[in-house]
Amino acid sequence: MSRRKVVITGVTRGLGRALAEELLQGGHSVAGCGRGQNQIQELKEQYGEKDASFSVVDVADAAAIRRWASELSESWGVPDLLINNAALMNRQANLWDLSSEEFSELVDVNVKGVTYVIQAFVPLMIKEGVGVIVNMSSGWGRSTSPHVAPYCASKFAVEGLTKALAQELPSPLAAIPLSPGVIDTDMLRICWGDEAGQHQTPDRWAKQAVPSILSLSSEQNGRSLSL
């Protein structure tokens, strides 16, 4: 398989980190971001700067995302795979018990953040004439449960914006909403507590997820997929 250039948001923990590490071990080049300074430093020390580029960037900060995309395009290149993975889960509560600040914070990351990343990177990818955009969706982007209304709203939004984007992109670029399955991460523990431990670890998930994600192409443009 040819060497891919992959941008991933939210690489400090969970699925994003497992994807980044599995891709790097497979010989691909990865540029990733997250807010956690210690974890980004740790990744930099572990993987160096030859095939990897890790940066402290908040996806909810549109200007910081634009700067990151522009710096990367000069120093590292343009991605042929862009994975919008960074997201937040809301505090488990009825919708009417959540504050407007809690709702806004989640929408700023899960919906606006995904949009800022697309707006910063996709014009560069269109210029190169290649690229697949994978936006992490969820089972809760296609069905609902109580106490996760803001998260559901955000992932239904990700499905909608990804499918509309898919209709706009010039061929052979593709945009795909991808539900990753159920994996034991910090996010799952917010919802299910210790029960999350019954599910697979991110590292184990990534071994199967990476080949599937790398195989995505314009054939799947606009389709809601699940791992």
C-alpha–C-alpha distance, residues 124 and 185, integer Å = 32
Binding of ligand NAP by 88 (CB under 6 A):
yes
Active-site pick, 151, 156, 184, 206: 151
Q: Which stretch binds ligand NAP (CB under 6 A): 5-13, 47-55, 70-78, 163-171?
A: 5-13
Residues 6+ apart with CB under 8 A from 126: 169, 170, 173
Residue type, 200: Q
Binding of ligand NAP by 206 (CB under 6 A):
no
Active site residue 116: no
> Residue 136 or residue 175: which is nearer to ligand NAP going by CB?
136
- The DSSP annotation for 33-94 comes to EES-HHHHHHHHHHHTTTSEEEEE--TT-HHHHHHHHHHHHHHT---SEEEE-------SS-
By CB under 6 A, the residues from 127 to 186 that bind ligand NAP are 136, 138, 180, 182-183, 185-186
By CB under 6 A, the residues from 53 to 82 that bind ligand NAP are 58-60
By CB under 6 A, the residues from 97 to 136 that bind ligand NAP are 109, 113, 136
C-alpha–C-alpha distance, residues 138 and 126, integer Å = 27
- Biggest distance spanned by C-alpha atoms of the chain: 50
Give me the active site residues, please: 151
Residues that bind ligand NAP (CB under 6 A): 9-16, 33-36, 39, 58-60, 85-88, 109, 113, 136, 138, 180, 182-183, 185-188
